[in-house]
Structure 1
Amino acid sequence: MNMRLTTICIATALLAACATQPKPLQGQFETLTAHQAAANNMTGSMVRWGGRIIRTEPRPDRTCFEVISTRLTSDGRPYWASDDTWGRFIACRTGFYDPALFEPNREVTFTGRIEGYEERKVDGFIYKFPRVSADVVYLWPKRERVNVITRPSPWPWAWGW
């Protein structure tokens, strides 16, 4: 019985280690969405938000990113299970981030503090964006698409396996 319990504990610890967030994304953050932050005054809240880049805007002293937000996986990567989004936000960070690398539809996660709000038009609609002063800009590697083709086994005895 003790050996079985020990094996289960070790397996659980190994699986938990695989699901940890990259070090820059770790920490304590408010559990609110960009949509909730826009509906309420949440200025000063520490957040970890992510999504897909809509636009990258280099400015003289910083770069701002307009992002469509979604929930994050346990490792902090944006998760796209459906078309349901968590709103939009703007994240700004000191320095130059190249729009050729930080291009539309790239997945990115930010950590930082909500410093205010900005109104912009989205297809003629006035939209209130929470603006995050980002401490971390984490660009995720592109996901590779793989086509998997399955064929029946040429060995009839293997079909039931």
Structure 2
Amino acid sequence: MSVRNPFRILVLTAGAALLGACATAPQPLQGAFPTVTPQQAVAAPQAGATVRWGGRIVETQPKQDRTCFQMVGMPLNASGRPDSGSADASQGRFIACRAGFYDPAVFTPGRDVTFVGRIEGTDSVRIGEYDYRLPLVAADIVYLWPEVREVEVVAPRAYPYPYWGRPYWSPWWGW
């Protein structure tokens, strides 16, 4: 028993260290950022503030010299990824633009993206019958998160004890 305990403690410590490493934001997303949300940026102008915002893509619009993303802002988790557990906790919409071409076939609606950039003001957008003012971010970093796919793992059903194979074979049958 004393031989197992140090091994168990070592395994648990290594597992905790690995899990702690998973909660760190990727290198491009690290840093200290103000806690201003897209809704707050429209209510009180925050032009020039550097922010880290993320959410789900609503629309990707390639233009002549840049690509703009219309996003539904969501709270970010510890790693900087939009929190999938709070799908209804929108922080408002925003537009993020970055120089260059980003393929709308890759940056499809519903994908999670995190941006780091500066607030440049607001832009008017028509959504349905409504005109909205959305904060405009000049993005320095565009971080597309890998898609999360749910997989159901089904273990093969084992026969209940004392059967070790087919149900008609058992040491209790006297063979």
TM-score between the two structures when normalised by the length of structure 1: 0.84
Higher-Rg member (1/2) = 2
Are 2:95 and 2:134, in contact at CA under 8 Å, matched by a contact in 1?
A: yes
Among residues 15, 20, 26, which one is paired with 1:22 in the alignment?
26
Among residues 116, 122, 125, which one is paired with 2:130 in the alignment?
125
CA RMSD of aligned residues (A): 2.4
Provide, for residues 62-106 of structure 1, a one-character-per-residue CA deviation record: whole Å limited to 9, x for no partner. 110000010111111111324120000000001000111111111
After superposition, residues 1-161 of structure 1 pair within 5 angstroms as 14-81=18-85, 82-148=87-153, 154-155=159-160
Q: Which segments of 5 or more consecutive residues in structure 1 lack a partner in the other structure? A: none
Q: CA deviation at 1:38?
A: 1.2
Task: Say how many residue pairs are matched.
Answer: 153
2:170 maps to which residue? none
TM-score between the two structures when normalised by the length of structure 2: 0.77
Q: Which segments of 5 or more consecutive residues in structure 2 lack a partner in the other structure? A: 1-5, 163-175
Q: CA deviation at 1:155?
A: 2.9
Provide, for residues 118-149 of structure 1, a one-character-per-residue CA deviation record: whole Å limited to 9, x for no partner. 01111111111100000000001111122355
Task: Name the % identity.
Answer: 49
